[in-house]
Amino acid sequence: MEPSQLLQNLLNGLAIGSVYAIFALGYTLVFSILGIINFAHGAVFTLGAYFTYTLVVGQFENNGLLKGINLFPNGSPFSGNPWLFALATLLGAALAGLVAVLIERLAFRPMRSRGADPLLALVSSLGVALVVVNLIQLLVGAEIYNFPSDAYGQVQPALSFHVGEKVVIIRTVQLIIFAVSLVMLAILGYVIGRTRVGKALRAVAENPGTASLLGISVDRFILITFFLSGFLGGLAGTLVGTAFGVAGPYFGVTYGLKGLAVIVLGGLGSIPGAVVGGLVIGLAEAFVPSQYSAYKDAVAYALLFVILLVRPQGLLGRAQIQKV
Amino acid sequence: MKRTALTIALGLLATGQAQKVQVPVPIGIALAQTSNTALLGQEQVIGARLAEKHINAHGGIGGTPIKLIFQDAAGDENSAINAFQNLIGKGNVVGIVGPTLSQQAFAADPIAERAKVPVLGPSNTAKGIPQIGDYIARVSAPVAVVAPNAIKQALKLDPKIKKVAVLYAQNDAFSTSETGTFQDAAKAQGLNVATVQKFQTTDTDFTTQVTSVLNADVDLVIISGLAADGGNLVKQLRQLGYKGLIVGGNGLNTSNIFPVCQKYCDGVIIAQAYSPAQPSASNQLFVKEYRAQYKKDPPQFAAQAYAGVQVMVDALKVLDRQKKLAQWDLDDLRAALNKQILAGKYNTPLGELRFDKEGEIMQKEFYVAQIKMKDAKNGTFVFLK
């Protein structure tokens, strides 16, 4: 492979891998606290993109109950420069976080309080996901929504540079995604590792009973976890929506499945594992030869399968030790 | 006792066989109202509803109104099969317009064929659809007819085109069928197909494919996909620096593509089986009604669904003149309707159309258009002559 091609694939892989990572972190947070997979995370990802779109554009097309609505007749206050767009993105992610909190209250807490099997909570979250996705379609139709190209100001669509005689090109939005993902991962790492909230979260994850005896409100920290998870999912949704368009109510489904692969590959419950898993899968997809690129999903899952054969606990997961 | 039971059973059997046609006349609509395919299906639903409204406002079928019975066929084969079974078994429909996708048609149409219920495919363009059975016809022109025109137009605009990149959605029967036609047409025009790239209709990131296209240094890109993926591909091609002509297949022939690729849609050449500019009275009436309600030009999918309902109703009108529909046995009417659909000539928004004996559409006019964007969200398809 030529150096230019190698670099091009590397950049492509890091950009999409960082989105997988940030999305999968939301899965991992909930899993590390409750030990269950929240299948509604893909729907929250989708909602994040729609919330931001609503703030930035405020209009919807011809199908759905919100058709003809115009929230900002004089133009959206969140459109036209990168900082306002960033603010809308954070607000959209925060709203997605609140929805995740609501999902916890409706789908997970009732099951937990009855001591139900974790499998029931998983199925319950799957049901919530389907309801949310169909609700989105009912409200705004199945159209693809795209952020206007001037929503984040005048930005060069792509940057290019030479490597030898060949040109390497990367879309600006991919660079932004990569940078935002890195910043968010750093913030999350700091919160989890260096703050009182992070300590409490880790205590709840380690042993909810003991944490409760130490005066930590387990329910409150579970809600905080869901908010953080939803925030990250919603943020990933907007990032993907900005890069590739908000491709209809179902566009979170693919990412939901991919996120699942990422956290299994990285190691269930491992935060660094989610990051590494996301980047590994992103890079694996990018290095699939272009004529076979339609099979990149299959390659990602095949890689997952092979790695799990060698390391059943995932790349950075801890092996289960059973004392006898 | 036994004789009485036998008489009752035979009586029930006889009444079961001689079910009359219901009033209002039920016509089944099995289209994608949910799933990713709903993007196309919801446009088709709009088209079908406009047809129903227009027909009933103008006296229905000889004074008898029609009633469209909707069943969600979603985007997968199982949902389409369920929708067909419900419409035939519970809905007692006289015929079905649907499903949305070609691969659904291959799965669901045999159900209607076995039940002897006429089907009109509104958007099934893959090879072999009418050959599924005697009761299967379509109002959607096969890609083999439509696609080559677009390449000829591209060569008119840029005679220096030599190398071509072909991209297609490999998980979609319509797109895989269309790309074969495109590739044959390109070779027939003496063009070199330098690279063939595959993707999935669910894909959003096309960086890998676009990078390969750029490395192949081609003069023309041909895309077979649907509005979401195809539009995204156009956008990413342009953003990453591709400057040559782009030809889009029939799946990109919808105004739904405008908000996807926005200003980057400008200049894309589209092979069309429908154009809002088609001057027939039937089309202009349809365009007027659609615009009044939705403030934009109707897309092809809405027009084809409208045409599907209209063809079925026009054929029913002929039968109604022979004997009032309410007096027909349902099975007899279904069989007669199938024959009449194939026998008639229809003036629809698609222009004048007829069917051959297999149920293949014989459409008079096809179009090639180029997208001209007015602003970030709104554009038009401009005729290329």
Convert the pLDDT of each residue in A77-126 to its tens digit.
998 888 999 999 999 999 999 999 999 998 888 888 888 887 888 889 99
Q: Rounded to a whole number, what is the distance in Å from the CA of B33 to chain A's nearest CA?
A: 9
Considering only CB atoms, which chain B residues are within 8 Å of A146? 259-262
B30: part of which helix (H) or strand (E)? strand B25-31
CA gap A289, B198 in Å, rounded: 11
- pLDDT recorded at residue A322: 56
Residue A139 CA, chain-centre distance (Å), reads 23
Q: Rounded to a whole number, what is the distance in Å from the CA of A171 to chain B's nearest CA?
A: 7
| Residue B14 clears pLDDT 50, i.e. is over it | no
B369: part of which helix (H) or strand (E)? strand B367-373
Residue B189 CA, chain-centre distance (Å), reads 28
Are B251 and B227 spatial neighbours (Cβ–Cβ below 8 Å)? yes
Helix axes A3-34, A41-56, angle to 10 degrees: 110
Output the average pLDDT for chain A. Answer: 87
Higher pLDDT, A35 or B158: B158
Chain B residue whose CA is closest to A244: B204
Please report, for chain A, how many H helices and E strands are present, in that order. Answer: 12, 2
B13 pLDDT band, cuts 50/70/90, is very low
Instruction: Extract the tokens encoding B157.
Output: 């605009």
Measure Cα distances from B145 to A141, B181, B183, B364 in Å: 32, 9, 13, 11
Considering only CB atoms, which chain B residues are within 8 Å of A9? 208
Contact check, Cβ <8 Å, A248/B38: yes
| Residue B12 clears pLDDT 60, i.e. is over it | no
CB within 8 Å of A219: residues ≥ 6 apart: A109
CA gap A308, B225 in Å, rounded: 35
CA gap B208, A12 in Å, rounded: 8
CA gap B175, B230 in Å, rounded: 11
Measure Cα distances from B27 to A119, A224, B47, B54 in Å: 43, 52, 14, 15
CA gap A258, A16 in Å, rounded: 11
Measure Cα distances from B74 to A67, A174, B80, B82 in Å: 22, 33, 7, 10
Q: Cβ atoms within 10 A of the Cβ of A203, count?
A: 17
Convert the pLDDT of each residue in A34-85 to its tens digit.
888 899 999 999 999 999 999 999 988 767 888 888 899 888 899 888 899 9
Provide the Cα torsion B83, B86, B91, B92; round to 10°: 110
Chain B residue whose CA is closest to A135: B34
| Residue B295 clears pLDDT 90, i.e. is over it | no
Strands B346-348 and A166-171: unpaired
| Residue A320 clears pLDDT 70, i.e. is over it | no
Q: What is the pTM of this model?
A: 0.78
Convert the pLDDT of each residue in B75-104 to its tens digit.
899 999 999 999 999 999 999 999 999 889
CA gap A141, B254 in Å, rounded: 16
By Cβ distance, the residue of A144, A167, A290 closest to B228 is: A144
Cis upstream peptide for B24 (omega within 30°) = yes
SS3 (DSSP) at B169 = strand
Considering only CB atoms, which chain A residues are within 8 Å of B256? 143-144
By Cβ distance, the residue of B41, B208, B231 closest to A286 is: B208
CA gap B216, B230 in Å, rounded: 20
Are A231 and A93 spatial neighbours (Cβ–Cβ below 8 Å)? yes
Measure Cα distances from B55 to A267, B62, B306, B308, B314 in Å: 61, 11, 11, 13, 10
Answer whether B291 touches A (CB < 8 Å): no
Nearest to B81 by CA among B115, B57, B52: B115
Answer whether B170 touches A (CB < 8 Å): yes
- Mean pLDDT check: name the lowest of B43-52, B84-93, B250-259: B250-259
Average pLDDT over residues A15-36: 88
SS3 (DSSP) at B198 = strand
Instruction: Extract the tokens encoding A190.
Output: 């700091």
B142 pLDDT band, cuts 50/70/90, is confident
CA gap B278, A202 in Å, rounded: 66
As a whole number of Å, the CA-based R_g of chain B is 22
- pLDDT recorded at residue B2: 52
A182 pLDDT band, cuts 50/70/90, is confident
Instruction: Measure CA of the first residue to CA of the last residue in chain A; give whole Å.
Output: 51
Considering only CB atoms, which chain A residues are within 8 Å of B42? 63, 141-142
Task: Give strand pairing partners of B220.
Answer: B164, B245
> DSSP state, A320?
P
To 5 degrees, how large is the angle CA A239–CA A282–CA A171?
Answer: 50
- pLDDT recorded at residue B194: 96
